[in-house]
Chain A
Amino acid sequence: MNDKAGRAPGQDSVETAVPAGMVFAPLRPSRSFFSLALSQLLKNKVAVLGGLLVVVEIVVAILAPYLAPFDPLDQDLKSTLLPPLTEGHLMGTDDLGRDMLSRIIYGARISLLVGVAVVGIATVVGVPVGAAAGYSRKLDRWISMGVDTLLAFPGILLALAIVAALGPGLINVMIAVGIYSMPMYIRVVRAQVLALKEREFTTAARAIGVRETGILFRHILPNCMGPVIVQATINVGTAILSAASLSFLGVGVQPPTPEWGAMLSKSRLYVVTAPHAVTFPGLAIMSVVLGFNLLGDGLRDALDPRFRR
């Protein structure tokens, strides 16, 4: 972990500031908050496993055209629902004779895209709104009422209603799940800001004449980022799960897009004759969601000083 000037931490130009002749015990390198957190994270085997699953998904998504043995949309009606390991189809084929493995590989792109877009939408709106709620009592009443309203819909129902209004499709699924994920960020940031604005450093900043916006954006918000990062990591997984559920229900991403939930939605008709068509897309969803969950849990422990030993 080097700082901006490319120096290793702790190897500051201390020597020049020390009067000649004075002998100092060698300074222990002081480490930044994030470098400490990272080393903590790497010690956590479960989190590393989660991180690996995430990395695998990212690599598969990027290299999809090179990894996929077939075109994911290529139909072959003469070889439908082939079991795994036949005719060069490692995971078999689906009801239209498309190669399952290739569809799963391309599906990684869709799911990652959904996960990242949802987190983007939810943080871009949720973080400032949460900060406003935490900072201003007047706004807090209205924002909290809005959040309570959004949270009054059990489970996936809110996303379902929104996607019903917007119509099916990848972008609309992202928006729907994005809105559905927002309340979590608003709550997390609001709680953080409420606590941080009472801290001494806020008072100190105010005392030296920093403007209120400066206090909020330069001093308070950066200190909220730990919980937001944890929330965002776990949210990538839950967003992928929610989007897959919408597609499974038939209101989300539409065929022939190789989306895992939509693939399951069609395969369920063949659960008796071709269980493999059900098994693999589900495994793909589960391993990715598991990866983000494990990584998120690890990050929480690493970023929260209370868990440090």
Chain B
Amino acid sequence: MLSYAVRKLLTLIPVMLGVYTLVFLVMQVLPGDPAKIRAGPGASAEAIENIRHQFGLDKPIPVQYVLYLEKAVRLDFGRSFRTNQPVIDELKTRYANTLQLTVAATVIFLSLGLPLGVIAAVKRNSIWDGLAILVSLLGISMPAFWLGLLLIWYFSVKLGWFPTFGFSSPKHLILPAFTLASYGIAYTARYTRSSMLEELMQDYVTTARAKGLRERTVLYRHALRNALIPVVTQAALGFGLMLGGAVVVEVVFTVNGVGKLIVDGILYRDYPVVQAAVLLLALNFVLVNLLADIAYGYIDPRVRLQ
């Protein structure tokens, strides 16, 4: 098991190197001269040259590639063009918000999506099944930013139940977390339903019924346990997807998270911040996926041998 985990961990190195390279390349083609942006409008040619030198932007690109990598590994991402604060400090506070939002969304999508999928499979073709199918279709097709705006309009503006924006109390968390979770609810309900249906068709279910076990035992002790194996991976993947979805949701609800940091950074051309934030989210995403892989290997020993 340990060797499986280590093997998986090692595969992350080339992937993260690839991610770093891609982000570095993207930053190279970005429009505008970073030194000029950093110096601000009306700066003298000398000042721009100074900044170029100070940030190592006058060095050849391959040298910059290695230098930045070296610093990034030590979590030194330079200073923000906009606030002149170390990027890592800003990332820390922002990341805490994004993590809160993502974790809350994950709790919501699991606690709604899983039961919905199970009930839909157990009571196939019932009204529950119809509801599950409808929810999963709408959840997958609905733009999250639109759902967010509708929720703000109805629950915050019309009913006044929740604040419209900001992120200072648990009450602030509910609407954004639910918006972020909508895709996850849809996806989990759909996935759990089909996984459970597949298990219910297996021979061991017939055997369990034939030997006179109660239906509840057959469903929840036998079928559900097996049906949940692939769902565990999907849940972890879902958490990762929430990280990406957070970008849009944070903008809708003005949550000061990493996603909003990236979007603002792009609009203000604050490149060091964008670069670091994108790297952070990607690293976070691959680590979660890795955990999902390892968990899968732990629950289902057949996977480890492949």
Contact = CB atoms under 8 A, between A and B. Distances in A.
Interface string B132-163: 00000110111111110110110001000000
Interface residues of B, number: 49
Interface stretch (A5-13, A78-86, A90-98, A287-295): A287-295
Given A154-B282, A160-B263, A249-B251, A278 B26 contact: no
B22 interface: yes
B143 A261 contact: yes
Interface string B18-41: 110111001101110000000000
Given A282-B149, A293-B140, A293-B141, A249 B282 contact: no
Contact of A160 (B21, B31, B150, B266): B266
A260 to B, nearest CB: 9
A67 B26 CA distance: 42
Contacts of A293: 137, 140-141
Contacts of B146: 264, 278, 281-282, 285-286
Contacts of A286: 138, 141-143, 146
A282 B143 contact: yes
Which residue among A149, A167, A281, A282 has the maximum number of chain B CB atoms within 10 Å of its CB? A149
Which residue among B138, B240, B244 has the maximum number of chain A CB atoms within 10 Å of its CB? B244
Nearest to B148: A268
B252 to A, nearest CB: 7
Interface string B263-306: 10011000000100010011011100000000000000000000
A47 B245 CA distance: 28
A153 B157 contact: no
B116 interface: no
A281 B15 CA distance: 38
A166 B28 CA distance: 11
B157 A272 contact: yes
A251 interface: yes
Contact of B150 (A244, A245, A249, A279): A279
A271 interface: yes
Interface string A45-61: 00000000000000000
Given A153-B278, A164-B26, A237 B244 contact: no
Interface of B: 11, 14-16, 18-19, 21-23, 26-27, 29-31, 137-138, 140-147, 149-150, 152-153, 157, 240-241, 243-245, 247-248, 251-252, 262-263, 266-267, 274, 278, 281-282, 284-286
18 contacts: A145-B14, A149-B15, A152-B15, A152-B285, A153-B278, A157-B244, A161-B26, A164-B30, A245-B248, A261-B143, A261-B145, A267-B149, A268-B252, A271-B149, A271-B153, A278-B146, A285-B143, A290-B137
Interface of A: 145-146, 148-150, 152-157, 160-162, 164-167, 237, 241, 244-245, 248-251, 261, 264, 267-268, 271-272, 275, 278-279, 281-282, 285-286, 289-290, 293-294
